[in-house]
Amino acid sequence: MNANRIIGGNHGLPVEANGKTVKKLSKNTLVNARSCLYAIMAHLNNPPIWMPSYLCESLLHEDYNVKFYDVDRSLTIDESFLTEIKPSEAVLVIDYFGFTQDRKIYERIKEKKCFSIEDASQSLLSDRDTTPDFTIYSLTKCLGLPDGGMIEARNSSFDVEVLPSPNNFVESATNFRRKRAEFDRGENDDWYSFYMAHKKLAVPIGPYAMSDLSKNLYESYDQPEIISRTRENYAHLQKHLDPIKQLVEGIAPIGFPILHENRDTLLDLLIENNIYPPIHWRLRQVPKSFLDSHWFSERQITLPCDHRYNLEDMERIIKCVLHS
């Protein structure tokens, strides 16, 4: 194994194989998680939606009337907003980095006669019960699928009437994921330019179907292996570094999130060492008055620890972070 191989970045297209799927596809699959939220909001007639002040801002859509609620520096929800919400409004709850939120929040939202939407985009493979009205998933965050999102609804008759899958977008995503897979196998030395070309395309957000290609490839993954490898890597990092959240039973993390006072210097150092950690997330639209969220955003960095990597790779990451 190349001791300086690239760690992190997008996942490559999987090879077709019969995997072991613990998380089944639901009947409502769309092109991405944003489209899942959009379809739910359309179904609810676009009520005001409460979103956490710490979020992936790609979720903000011009059609939504967004109100923010606060989360603290440990990403725990400040429930004081529940005194302000009105019946029939929607509340989005995010499961950060694979960690589910305290399930009681869904009961409280229900007591207010509001609709709860759990955003499990970062926690596809974590255990959860089904108390929210809706749960949305992104299928491209911990897998190398070209596209995919899905909705689970408490009301089993909920159905999205879908539009055809956006072919150009899916083809371009397939192309860059294929190049990344070839790159990982040492068969080419450029996947990134294909990724950058893909990034120039407008992301489809609407009731667009998930592609058949991605539906078929979804079954290629050995999901128990993804969960156990990732947890093993996380547990190893945790012996040396301080994560935002300690690993607990039933959690399949998306990476190893830490806070660092000199985050941007650390980021540069990691990149110099061929380690590419995402920042979840840089806030630009959330009002500055949400001080804790902005504090968090300036320090956050997610160290890669997914199933593609082993303990040797984790050692490289640990060394870099401890030397920063």
Ligand X SMILES: Cc1ncc(COP(=O)(O)O)c(C=O)c1O
Which residues make up the interface to ligand X (CB under 6 A)?
A: 32-34, 56, 58-59, 94, 119, 121-122, 138, 140, 149
- Taking alpha carbons only, the member of 167, 175, 218, 211 closest to residue 194 is 175
CB of 84 to ligand X, least distance (A): 23
CB of 122 to ligand X, least distance (A): 5
Residue number with CB closer to ligand X (10 or 233): 10
Residues 12, 14, 18: CA angle, nearest 5 degrees: 165
Residue number with CB closer to ligand X (33 or 227): 33
Residue number with CB closer to ligand X (140 or 174): 140
Residue number with CB closer to ligand X (94 or 303): 94
CB of 246 to ligand X, least distance (A): 20
Q: Using CA atoms, how far apart are residues 241 and 184, in angstroms rounded to an integer? A: 27
Residue number with CB closer to ligand X (93 or 181): 93
CB of 187 to ligand X, least distance (A): 27
Residue number with CB closer to ligand X (177 or 316): 177
Return the HEC string of the chain: CCCCCCEECCCCCCCCCCCECCCCCCCEEECCHHHHHHHHHHHCCCCCEEEECCCCHHHCCCCCCEEEECECCCCCECHHHHHCCCCCCEEEEECHHHCCCCCHHHHHHHHCCCEEEEECCCCCCCCCCCCCCEEEEECCCCCCCCCCEEEEECCCCCCCCCECCCHHHHHHHHHHHHHHHHHHCCCCCCCHHHHHHHHCCCCCCCCEECCHHHHHHHCCCEHHHHHHHHHHHHHHHHHHCCCCCCCCCCCCCCCEEEECCCHHHHHHHHHHCCEECCCCCCCCCCCCCCHHHHHHHHHEEEECCCCCCCHHHHHHHHHHHHCC
Residue number with CB closer to ligand X (58 or 216): 58
CB of 151 to ligand X, least distance (A): 12
CB of 174 to ligand X, least distance (A): 16
Q: Using CA atoms, how far apart are residues 106 and 94, in angstroms rounded to an integer? A: 12
CB of 54 to ligand X, least distance (A): 10
Residue number with CB closer to ligand X (140 or 300): 140
CB of 254 to ligand X, least distance (A): 8
CA distances in angstroms from 140 to 14, 137, 183, 215, listed in the order given: 12, 9, 18, 12
